[in-house]
Amino acid sequence: MSKRKDSVLVEQISVGQYRNFCYLVGDEPSKEAAIIDPAWDIPKIIRHVNVKSLKLKYVINTHSHMDHIQGNLSIQQLTNARIVMSCNASVQKDMGVQDGDDLKLGSGVRLHFILTPGHSRDSMCVLVNDIALMTGDTLFIGDCGRVDLPGGDASELFDSFKKIRDLDPMLIVYPGHNYGARPCTTLKEQLEQNYTLAKRSKEEFICFMKEP
């Protein structure tokens, strides 16, 4: 599925056996684009890029788990795109972004990075203009990412959720996996319906995340 607003292109591409979502974000007039979390089916992703004649400028990863980065190098070899990750990522990258950094695609698209550790140390969300929020494995539709893998931390996820709560509720949340009833919803709907975002103290949230 794809969504356009003004000159912004957002395309959600379903890939792989773990129901991953990869995203193509572009500026229509200039055709400059970024791919978020390329993995599993690189020919399919490249087809999406070519159909729209996009020029891939960046490969962006919401975090460094293998199911989100395994296509980075193949895409880079094909397009010369620069690999962008959180400054906390220790895997191969060309640019490490800090919380609040921006990148532009053409003159119409602003990619704004919000570091959201918790699922992993190097997790981040990508805000596309005031339209879309790519949440990776930080937030799913109706759920959130696990915190029991190396680098996971429930206390950090609690703080990251605070940042997400402060964003425009009309943003469309685009998760890193298709684990929900629908592939995307508004942040407002998640704040109202996602049980992991229910009001809790930090201590309550840490206990909640330990529940089986």
Q: Which of residues 47-76 bind Fe ion (CB under 5 A)?
A: 65
Contact call for residue 177 and Fe ion (CB under 5 A)? no
Cα–Cα distance measured from residue 44 to residue 31, given in angstroms and rounded to the nearest whole number = 19
Closest CA to 37 of 64, 63, 68: 68
Q: How far is the CB of 146 from Fe ion (least distance, A)?
A: 8
Q: How far is the CB of 27 from Fe ion (least distance, A)?
A: 28
Q: How far is the CB of 63 from Fe ion (least distance, A)?
A: 6
Q: How far is the CB of 127 from Fe ion (least distance, A)?
A: 19
Contact call for residue 137 and Fe ion (CB under 5 A)? yes
Cα–Cα distance measured from residue 123 to residue 47, given in angstroms and rounded to the nearest whole number = 27
Closest CA to 134 of 83, 163, 169, 177: 177
Non-local (6+) Cβ contacts of 62 within 8 A are 36, 37, 68, 123, 124, 125, 126, 134, 135, 136, 137, 138, 176
Contact call for residue 121 and Fe ion (CB under 5 A)? no
Q: How far is the CB of 170 from Fe ion (least distance, A)?
A: 26
- The widest CA-to-CA distance across the chain, in whole angstroms, is 49
- The smaller minimum CB distance to Fe ion, of residues 79 and 138, is found at 138
Contact pattern for Fe ion over residues 77 through 116, marking x by CB under 5 A: ----------------------------------------
Judged by CB under 5 A, the stretch of 45-53, 72-80, 91-99, 131-139 that binds Fe ion is: 131-139
- What does the block give as tokens for 209? 């995340």
- What does the block give as tokens for 58? 């960046």
Q: Which amino acid is at 177?
A: H
# chain residues binding Fe ion, by CB under 5 A: 2
Contact call for residue 122 and Fe ion (CB under 5 A)? no
Q: Interface with Fe ion by CB under 5 A: which residues?
A: 65, 137
